[in-house]
């Protein structure tokens, strides 16, 4: 592939800047999301950035909007369009952290956003929104499986904590652990 240079590069769109920013975020945290290094990586001038974003904060806000969309709605909408049972959907969610290389990138971005949220009010707000939405969706699936409302909320929290933690725990027995967790979550009350 021909290297991108300012002279031969077609104009970038905002989505390409956001993707590059996510790569930088995953690799170096929010401090790595800076205009000059991103422009250099993309092979364009700073002017390209300012064509799409007023400032770095505007890029951060666009990143958080995109993350919220990817973190929840794209996944949940895909699951809701399927003809799978609630337990099958939970199985698919449980497999997400290690399903594909893209999942690994998503996990790295997830961690970086959560670290960012410890220092930034807007990122923290986005994380709270994503967490609430996920917990509500997981509880809904458990209720569809026949788990009573209050218990479904508790199991949803357990499921979510396990899902988040599993992305960071190395084990030789991942499938067995996943199977055991599934049995606990889906046990009839």
- For 2-6, 77-81, 151-155, 171-175, which range has the lowest pLDDT when averaged over its residues? 2-6
Whether the Cβ atoms of residue 60 and residue 20 lie closer than 8 Å to each other: no
- Confidence label for 175 from pLDDT (cuts 50, 70 and 90): confident
Q: Is residue 28 part of a domain?
A: no
3-state secondary structure of 12: coil
Report pLDDT for 58: 98
Q: Is residue 40 part of a domain?
A: no
Q: Is residue 23 part of a domain?
A: no
Going from the C-alpha of 68 to that of each of 26, 107, 115, 163, 169, the distances in angstroms are: 16, 14, 15, 17, 24
pLDDT digits (tens, 9 = 90+) for 121-133: 999 999 999 999 9
Residue 163: CB partners within 8 Å, gap ≥ 6? 93, 94, 96, 97
Q: Is residue 177 part of a domain?
A: yes
Domain count, the chain: 1
The span from the CA of 14 to the CA of 42, in Å, is 12
Q: Is residue 47 part of a domain?
A: no
Q: Is residue 24 part of a domain?
A: no
Q: Is residue 84 part of a domain?
A: yes
- pTM metric for this prediction: 0.84
pLDDT over threshold 70, residue 37 = yes
Look up the domain containing 81 and give its range.
Answer: 63-186
3-state secondary structure of 70: helix
The span from the CA of 143 to the CA of 152, in Å, is 6
pLDDT over threshold 90, residue 96 = no
Report pLDDT for 3: 46
- CA nearest neighbour of 112 among 37, 168, 44, 169: 168
Q: Is residue 105 part of a domain?
A: yes
CATH number, domain containing residue 87: 1.10.357.10
The span from the CA of 184 to the CA of 188, in Å, is 9
């Amino acid at each position: 592939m021909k290297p991108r240079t300012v002279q031969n590069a077609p104009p970038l769109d905002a989505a390409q800047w956001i993707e590059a920013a996510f790569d930088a975020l995953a690799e170096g945290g929010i401090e790595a999301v800076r205009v000059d290094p991103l422009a250099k990586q993309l092979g364009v001038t700073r002017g390209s950035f300012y064509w799409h974003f007023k400032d770095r904060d505007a890029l951060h806000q666009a990143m958080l909007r995109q993350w919220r969309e990817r973190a929840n709605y794209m996944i949940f909408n895909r699951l809701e369009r399927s003809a799978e049972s609630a337990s099958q959907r939970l199985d698919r969610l449980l497999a997400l952290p290690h399903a594909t290389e893209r999942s690994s990138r998503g996990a790295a971005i997830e961690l970086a956003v959560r670290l960012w949220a410890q220092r930034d009010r807007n990122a923290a707000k986005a994380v709270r929104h994503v967490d609430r939405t996920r917990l509500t969706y997981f509880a809904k699936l458990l209720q569809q499986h026949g788990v009573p409302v209050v218990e479904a909320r508790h199991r949803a929290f357990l499921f979510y904590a396990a899902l988040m933690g599993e992305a960071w725990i190395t084990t030789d027995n991942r499938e067995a652990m996943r199977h055991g967790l599934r049995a606990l979550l889906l046990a009839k009350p």
